[in-house]
């Protein structure tokens, strides 16, 4: 894979993300109601509960073409006293249990799901970590973000483009995540430096917070003299902690790694075992998220270890616009020859979630 090929892959991934931003068709009348701790009541539709925030879409007037009086508003989950909806919703608990049906609250901070087999037991709303409508449209089950960064000095210009999209299957048993990151450093006195990565993960939900995972990755990195790295594999993982404030998951398995460095003609292939952890923290009242992930790859046919680490802090500003600070570190214990062993980067991004 040449450098230009890697850049084209990133561009195509960005186009694929932009194709998802068309909003789904919606009906004029709300199907639910929310009462917050202050006693105020709002009618509308449940769009999503995630990261401790409920996205609630207010209704439009019955007049054709009328605007929704407040659009989609974000409500801190812990401030909701009562909630009801006649829409079919998927409700996920911190224990990993998933219920599907309409919802109501017979008493404050307790929720009942009316499933096909009958009403559930009263559920403490503090134990609910995710609510997603059982919608049939592809776009309705897809969320993501797109961010751009620019840094200028007297002799250097640094550009960065990051994006991700998460799609859940019709019954939300499968979750597919596409992420990409492109980084370019242009200098007046030397060649440009680029780094491009594309990741594709698919997870199949299992019982008791377990899941099966398939991974794929394509990377190009001038700093590491890496023309192309292709990784594909699979394994299992488990959500160790799952709440409205933070999540922690761990996973591991086997993969196959193919690499080609600049100045070489052929790919070098090696089987690997991988193990990783991913931690996410949310501040619902401040629309702030933070995450950190570390994955280690151990070669099974040579004495070699690779490490990929990343961390970010993101805060929403207004109207789904956000700013974030991201850092990454790639380390290779034995890249061969006199090639660099690590690459560290830091970017500041402005972006938009959809």
* CA 281 from centroid of its chain's CA atoms: 13
pLDDT on residue 188: 78
pLDDT on residue 12: 47
pLDDT on residue 24: 38
pLDDT on residue 354: 86
- Beta strand 123-124 with 118-119: parallel, antiparallel or unpaired? unpaired
- Residue segments in the chain with a per-residue pLDDT below the cut of 70: 1-30, 61-70, 136
Q: Provide CB contacts within 8 A for 305, sequence distance 6+.
A: 296, 297, 298, 299, 332, 333
Tokens of 175: 């979750």
Report the alpha-carbon distance of residue 217 to residue 202 in Å, rounded: 12
pLDDT on residue 159: 94
Report yes or no: 225 and 261 within 8 Å, Cβ to Cβ.
yes
pLDDT on residue 15: 43
pLDDT on residue 66: 53
pLDDT on residue 89: 94
**Which parts of the chain fold into alpha helices (H)?**
3-18
Residue spans of the domains in the chain: they are: 32-134, 140-353
The answer to whether domain 140-353 has CATH 2.40.160.40 is yes
Reported as a single tens digit per residue, the pLDDT across 6-18 is 554 444 454 444 4
- Beta strand 80-93 with 110-115: parallel, antiparallel or unpaired? unpaired
Report the alpha-carbon distance of residue 326 to residue 121 in Å, rounded: 42
Class of CATH domain 32-134: mainly beta
Tokens of 200: 């594709």
Nearest Cα to 278, choosing from 199, 161, 194?
199
pLDDT on residue 31: 86
pLDDT on residue 17: 46
pLDDT on residue 8: 45
Q: Provide CB contacts within 8 A for 150, sequence distance 6+.
A: 157, 158, 159, 160
pLDDT on residue 160: 95
Based on its alpha-carbon atoms, the radius of gyration of the chain, rounded to whole angstroms, reads: 23
């Amino acid at each position: 894979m040449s450098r230009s090929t890697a850049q084209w892959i990133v561009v195509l991934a960005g186009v694929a993300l932009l194709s998802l931003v068309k909003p789904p068709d919606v009906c004029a009348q709300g199907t639910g109601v929310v009462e917050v701790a202050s006693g105020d009541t709002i009618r509308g539709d449940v769009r999503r509960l995630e990261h401790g925030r409920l996205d609630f879409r207010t209704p439009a007037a019955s007049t054709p073409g009328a605007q929704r009086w407040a659009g989609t508003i974000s409500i801190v989950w812990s401030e909701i006293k009562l909630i009801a909806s006649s829409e079919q919703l998927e409700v996920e608990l911190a224990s990993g249990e998933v219920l599907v049906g309409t919802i109501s609250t017979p008493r404050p901070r307790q929720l009942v799901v009316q499933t096909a087999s009958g009403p559930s037991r009263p559920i403490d709303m503090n134990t609910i970590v995710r609510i997603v409508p059982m919608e049939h449209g592809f776009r309705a089950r897809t969320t993501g973000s797109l961010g751009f960064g620019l840094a200028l000095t007297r002799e250097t210009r640094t550009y960065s483009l990051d994006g991700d999209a998460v799609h859940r299957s019709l019954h939300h048993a499968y979750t597919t995540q596409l992420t990409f990151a492109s980084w370019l450093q242009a200098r007046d006195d030397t060649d440009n430096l680029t780094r491009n990565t594309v990741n594709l993960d698919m997870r199949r939900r299992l019982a008791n917070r377990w899941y099966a995972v398939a991974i794929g990755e394509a990377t190009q990195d001038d700093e590491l003299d890496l023309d192309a790295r292709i990784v594909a594999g699979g394994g299992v993982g488990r959500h160790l902690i799952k709440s409205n404030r933070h999540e922690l998951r761990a996973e591991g398995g086997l993969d196959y790694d193919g690499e080609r460095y600049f100045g070489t003609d052929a790919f070098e292939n090696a089987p690997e075992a991988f193990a990783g952890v991913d931690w996410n923290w949310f501040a619902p009242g401040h629309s702030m998220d933070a995450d950190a992930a570390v994955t280690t790859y151990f070669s099974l046919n040579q004495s070699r270890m690779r490490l990929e680490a990343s961390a970010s802090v993101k805060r929403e500003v207004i109207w789904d616009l956000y700013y974030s600070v991201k850092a990454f570190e790639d380390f290779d214990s034995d890249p061969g020859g006199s090639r660099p062993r690590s690459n560290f980067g830091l970017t500041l991004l402005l972006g938009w979630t959809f």
